[in-house]
Amino acid sequence: MTNASATPATQPPYTGPLAGVRVVITHDTVQAEEQVRLFAALGAETLLYPAIDLAPYDNTDELDHALRAAGEGIYDWLILNDADTILVVSDRIKALGLDPSRFPRRLKVATIGCMTEQWTNELLGIRSDFAPEVYTPELVAEQLNLRPGMRVLLPQSATTRATLAKCLKGTGADVDAINAYRTLIGKGGDAVPNMLWEGKVDAITFTFPTAVRYFVKRIKAEGGSVAMLDNVAVACIGPLTREAANDYGLHVDIVPSPHTISAMVDAIARHFA
């Protein structure tokens, strides 16, 4: 028999430098795990509001052909410019029965963003040859030291801006920029629009430009507006994400250096200190 006087178990109070701070994470649930863990260690309460969802193409012939060519040593560089791309590329490599550990040594791998580097290692078992802490398309194109005649494979989302591909082609290299998947508006997560209206959100994080664009689309589709973030601390992982946020009228309070998840979490802690 249940004791009528018993009270339900409650979550222990948050403790740490971010105790009492509510942070919205706009990445999908899987990719949000690192942020959730780091914020929890500092006492923050995290809310999930996935801004994007991935939709791989039914016809993967172009990507499959390029990945086979990479395995045969056709390319000099494979550039993975976000963590979503490595998920799609990893799935196709496995479906094709390719072994990344046996890719020719001449093929170098560039990963943009700390999560991309980490997942390339975990999912493909290979390490990055180039993983810049500070990212801009111009800087990447310059530091790769590409030359005319070199071949580059750049799988990406169909909604990715052409800036990186344009900068890479500007070096004279032969760049195959392949649309590997589509990016759709995310769904699910916590009731963030309601919490924003009620003033119960303190900070929000964006880890790449597409997350900003699709957050704005989602919040508007659910009856909200970017004005709801006027009193919320907005954190962007790097300059391109900040630029996207500014384009949509968002004020940006925090841009960490280096441009990593852990540095962004630390910067938010300093902001609220």
- What is the per-residue pLDDT across 216-239, written as a single tens digit (0 to 9) for each? 999 999 999 999 999 999 999 888
End-to-end alpha carbon distance in the chain: 48
Instruction: Write down the pLDDT at residue 13.
Output: 55
When pLDDT is cut at 50, 70 and 90, the band that residue 4 belongs to is very low
Check whether 197 has a pLDDT greater than 90: yes
Whole-structure pTM over 0.85, yes or no? no
Is-contact 174 202, C-beta < 8 A? Answer: no
The structural domains of the chain, ordered by start, are 22-51+186-272 (3.40.50.10090), 55-184 (3.40.50.10090)
Instruction: Write down the pLDDT at residue 84.
Output: 85
Q: In what order do the strands lie in the sheet with 52-56?
A: 52-56, 174-185, 151-157, 77-80, 108-111
Is-contact 154 178, C-beta < 8 A? Answer: yes
Amino acid (1-letter code) at residue 258? P
Q: Return the sign of the alpha-carbon dihedral for residues 94, 165, 204, 264.
A: positive
Locate tokens 């249940």: which residue? 2
When pLDDT is cut at 50, 70 and 90, the band that residue 144 belongs to is very high
d(CA 104, CA 89): 17
Q: Give the residue-averaged pLDDT of 160-175.
A: 91
Check whether 104 has a pLDDT greater than 80: yes
When pLDDT is cut at 50, 70 and 90, the band that residue 11 belongs to is very low
Check whether 2 has a pLDDT greater than 60: no
Average pLDDT, the chain: 90
Instruction: Write down the pLDDT at residue 6.
Output: 38
Instruction: Write down the pLDDT at residue 146.
Output: 95
Residue 21: strand, helix, or coil: coil
d(CA 227, CA 251): 10
Instruction: Write down the pLDDT at residue 14.
Output: 63
Q: Going along the chain, which residue ranges are E strands?
A: 22-25, 45-48, 52-56, 77-80, 108-111, 151-157, 174-185, 203-206, 233-236
Instruction: Write down the pLDDT at residue 201.
Output: 98
Instruction: Write down the pLDDT at residue 28.
Output: 81
Q: Give the residue-averaged pLDDT of 118-136.
A: 87
Residues pairing with 174 in the sheet: 151
Locate tokens 């004791």: which residue? 3
Q: Give the residue-averaged pLDDT of 127-151.
A: 89
Residue 175 neighbours by CB under 8 Å, 6+ apart:
151, 152, 154, 165, 168, 169
